[in-house]
Amino acid sequence: MKLRLLCLCVFALSFTEHASVLSGQEAKNTTAQVGHPQATYRGGLVSPPLPKPRFVLTDTSGTSFDFWNRTQGSVTLLFFGYTYCPDQCPTHMANLGAALKKLPPNMADRVKLVFVTTDPARDTPIQLRRWLDNFNRRFVGLSGTTAALDAVQKAVGIPLAQKTDSANGNYSVAHANFVVAYTKDNLGHVIYPGGVSKDDWIHDLPLLIGETWSRPEPQPRRSDERP
């Protein structure tokens, strides 16, 4: 729990200049004040919520994937990472895959996981599809040019991924280690940093699916717009 709260604090500093992140108890108190049902999330509530961005990248079949249109009406979990990641990426994906298997099919079908690579040079369509299939065959994998991927990260509001060279020619990629959860209102109300467990997802996913936030929907930022 301490690790998760620390991650949320770091996230609040780095994710966006205009949003704050509330812990579960803070969120419960705040939502009570604004008349929202007192659902306590294991992730951190973002205030104000983040508009779902509009962007088009390429999926693992080589087809254009319009993120805005293809995720309408679903709880959409967006994560940026890479298949050669030694720890956090496979941990997030494994926990989410295991949690979705625990949900009834009619609930799991209402969740879309979209994984955007931050390492397009090595994450070929075959590599990306094979890696995601280890966790869930329904997970969507997206890629694009470095410029396109940078534009998408800016549109979402997360720090740009940075490649770190090593002495032997291999490299790692430092990237934002957060899953952003957009609900049916096309707003990102909750974020999930490293340390969120399978049980946390099992607890939160039904809440996200059943959410009925009624807030004015801001105009989404396009990936080619300046922040």
8 A C-beta contact, residue 179 and residue 92: yes
Beta-sheet pairing, 140-143 with 111-117: parallel
Q: What topology is assigned to 2-210 in CATH?
A: Glutaredoxin (3.40.30)
pLDDT reading at 3 higher than 80 = no
End-to-end CA distance of the chain: 33
> How many percent of the chain have pLDDT more than 70?
75
**What average pLDDT does range 158-177 have in this prediction?**
86
Kindly report the pTM of this predicted structure: 0.81
Q: Does 223 have pLDDT greater than 50?
A: yes
* pLDDT per position as a tens digit, 179-222: 999 999 999 999 999 899 999 999 999 999 998 875 544 455 56
Q: H helices within 73-221, ranges in order?
A: 88-102, 105-108, 125-133, 146-156, 198-210
Nearest alpha carbon to residue 127 among 114, 136, 117: 117
Q: In sequence order, what are the residues at sequence separation of 6 or more whose Cβ sits closer than 8 angstroms to the Cβ of residue 19?
A: 12, 46, 47, 48, 49, 50, 157
Q: Can you give the pLDDT at residue 221?
A: 58
pLDDT at 135: 97
Q: Among 16-20, 72-76, 139-143, 193-197, name the one with the lowest average pLDDT.
A: 16-20
Among candidates 122, 140, 137, 138, which has minimal Cα distance to 83? 122
Looking at 123-137, 152-166, 209-223, which range is the least confident one? 209-223
Which pLDDT score, from 0 to 100, does residue 11 have?
A: 46
* Tokens matching residue 73: 């009406």
Instruction: Please state, in angstroms and rounded to a whole number, the distance separating the CA atoms of residues 124 and 72.
Output: 27
pLDDT class for 167, splitting at 50, 70, 90?
low
